[in-house]
């Protein structure tokens, strides 16, 4: 019914993710690594926002944030998250769910150093997610931070780091004509010491 190939159930989910991300990088006009990140409070009240994926390998999927932001607080209190990538140009999406763990200090330092100087200064000046009486207040704080550090090194603030989502489930979704979509989910095996994956094709 369609010349779109079906999702390969024999594929390694991390390799398939890398392939789809590489294809999205060629077709998406902006931020192919953009993803919705859903967190929840201990009593299950959810919140979601768009972030940028900053690392992906067999250990999991990494993003960075102010640890005192709403998502930072929720992840400390309820260390689980869900991610959603949607690539409209390819008519594809990937859903990822699992517990989160903090990245190492070395990883956080390396990524922080790679950011633009203004972004690093902004991370220090911003009380992310907290009330701001006036935009001018933030701009004045940024100016103060700029004057403090001048042209010197900018240390990573203690309240800025990253999280790694360790996937327990990765679902791939491919649009097909007439809403007869192709879906497949990889779930991490929980049998003994087996660290493999169980894979199942899903009804659209």
* pLDDT computed for residue 152 by the predictor: 94
Per the structure, the count of domains in the chain is 1
* Residue 48 counted as domain residue: yes
CA distance 125 to 35: 25
Q: Determine if residue 115 is labeled as part of a ligand binding site.
A: yes
* Residue 136 counted as domain residue: no
Paired with 93 in beta bridges are 86, 173
Report the CATH number that the domain containing residue 50 is assigned in CATH.
2.30.110.10
Q: Determine if residue 179 is labeled as part of a ligand binding site.
A: yes
* Residue 175 counted as domain residue: yes
Q: Determine if residue 129 is labeled as part of a ligand binding site.
A: yes
* Residue 174 counted as domain residue: yes
Residues of the domain holding 178: 13-108+161-201
* Residue 6 counted as domain residue: no
Both tokens assigned to 144: 């103060």
- 181 class by beta-carbon count within 10 Å (0-12 exposed, 13-18 middle, 19+ buried): middle
Q: Determine if residue 191 is labeled as part of a ligand binding site.
A: no
Active-site residue list: 179
* Residue 181 counted as domain residue: yes
* Residue 126 counted as domain residue: no
* Residue 102 counted as domain residue: yes
Tell me, what DSSP letter sits at residue 134? -
* pLDDT computed for residue 3 by the predictor: 84
* pLDDT computed for residue 136 by the predictor: 95
* pLDDT computed for residue 1 by the predictor: 55
* pLDDT computed for residue 147 by the predictor: 94
Q: Determine if residue 202 is labeled as part of a ligand binding site.
A: no
pLDDT by 10-residue block (mean), the chain, 204 residues: 88 98 96 98 97 98 96 97 97 98 97 96 91 93 94 94 98 96 95 77 97
């Amino acid at each position: 019914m369609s010349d779109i190939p079906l999702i390969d159930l024999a594929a390694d989910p991390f390799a398939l993710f890398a392939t789809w991300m590489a294809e999205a990088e060629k077709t998406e006009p902006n931020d192919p690594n953009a993803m919705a990140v859903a967190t929840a409070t201990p009593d299950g009240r959810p919140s979601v926002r768009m972030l940028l994926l900053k690392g992906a390998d067999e250990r999991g999927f990494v993003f960075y944030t102010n640890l005192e932001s709403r998502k930072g607080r929720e992840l400390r209190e309820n260390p689980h998250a869900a991610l959603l990538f949607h690539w409209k140009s390819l008519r594809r999406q990937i859903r990822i769910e699992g517990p989160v763990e903090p990245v190492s200090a070395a990883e956080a330092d390396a990524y922080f150093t790679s950011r633009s100087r203004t972004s690093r200064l902004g991370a220090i000046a911003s009380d992310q997610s907290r009330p701001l009486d006036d935009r001018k207040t933030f701009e004045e704080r940024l100016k103060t931070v700029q004057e403090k550090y001048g042209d010197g090194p900018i240390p990573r603030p203690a309240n800025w780091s990253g999280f790694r989502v360790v996937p327990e489930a990765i679902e791939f979704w491919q649009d097909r004509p007439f809403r007869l979509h192709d879906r497949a989910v990889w779930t991490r095996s929980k049998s003994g010491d087996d660290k493999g994956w169980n894979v199942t094709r899903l009804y659209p």
